[in-house]
Chain A
């Protein structure tokens, strides 16, 4: 996954209001913007804006039913986002493990050197 896709995904998910919208869509399956607006503490315009961001990030899709537009969560994208997150965490775990190895080796070396100094030659 490219850095840019990550960035879009994360920006979309990081905002708590958008998480609320996602949450509602997941539990309800499919919903219109006005149905969502009735269940969140922010305006219909805000809901519409959040839906645009989520759609751009590929996290929701929409379809028309009569005069209504219904939104639903894109499961595959959600799983992809979860995986990206886990990957980044694993990357940091690997880096921290490398720091641990380096620091512990340096510490052992320092101790050995000190011991050598203490011992009369």
Chain B
């Protein structure tokens, strides 16, 4: 479960069955239409590949492939290092069918600082029911502006 903190969480409702959405987010020729410019990746757990964004690019490692409901990979790590917990961002897609022809697609992107926390710390933080860090920033920025 994603925790509050360094996590970005967005979702969208799609008028298509979950299998169709699954293919859209996992097939490399589809991925290159909405995500990276070039995708060189086999979609299976542990597979290492490459994604290119304009003049930038880097290694990607597939983490979870659980059709048609969960797909995750790691990226954004130092260029020369293998992406593992502690040096990378984890991107997780969750697909939930809502009827036969509608799917809720949620994406979370979480940072390495958060992932490296001990479980007790994560739990404590989750228990605080605090707003996400985006809201935290908004609040602080507002306070600062008022000063």
Chain A residues in contact with chain B, CB under 8 A?
3, 7, 10-11, 13-16, 19, 22-23, 26-27, 29, 73, 75, 78-79, 81-82, 85-86, 88-89, 92-93, 95-100, 102-104, 106-107, 110
- What residues of A have a CB within 8 angstroms of the CB of B130 in the complex? 16
* Known contacts A99-B34, A104-B15, A106-B20, A88 near B144 by CB under 8 Å: no
Report chain B residues within 8 Å CB of A88: 8, 109
B55 at the A/B interface (Cβ < 8 Å)? Answer: no
Q: Mark out the residues of chain B between 106 and 147 whose CB falls within 8 Å of any chain A CB in the assembled complex.
A: 107, 109, 111-114, 117, 121, 124-125, 128, 130, 133-134, 136-138, 140-141, 143-145, 147
With A88-B8, A96-B107, A99-B105 known to touch, is A15 a contact of B14 (CB < 8 Å)?
no
User: Interface of B with A (CB < 8 Å)?
Assistant: 5-6, 8, 10-17, 20-21, 23-25, 30, 33-35, 76, 101, 103, 105, 107, 109, 111-114, 117, 121, 124-125, 128, 130, 133-134, 136-138, 140-141, 143-145, 147
- Ranked 4 nearest A-B pairs via Cβ: A14-B6, A98-B34, A107-B16, A75-B144
A-B contact pairs, 6 of them (CB 8 A): A11-B6, A22-B140, A78-B140, A79-B145, A85-B137, A96-B107
Closest to A100 in B: B14
For residue A23, which residue of chain B has the nearest CB?
B140
| A78–B24 touching, CB < 8 Å | no
Shortest B20–chain A CB gap in Å is 5
When the two chains form the complex, which single residue of B35, B103, B133, B138 contacts A19, counting CB atoms closer than 8 Å? B133
Quick one: which of A3, A19, A82 contacts B141, CB cutoff 8 A?
A: A82
CB-CB under 8 A from A89, the residues of chain B are 8, 10, 134
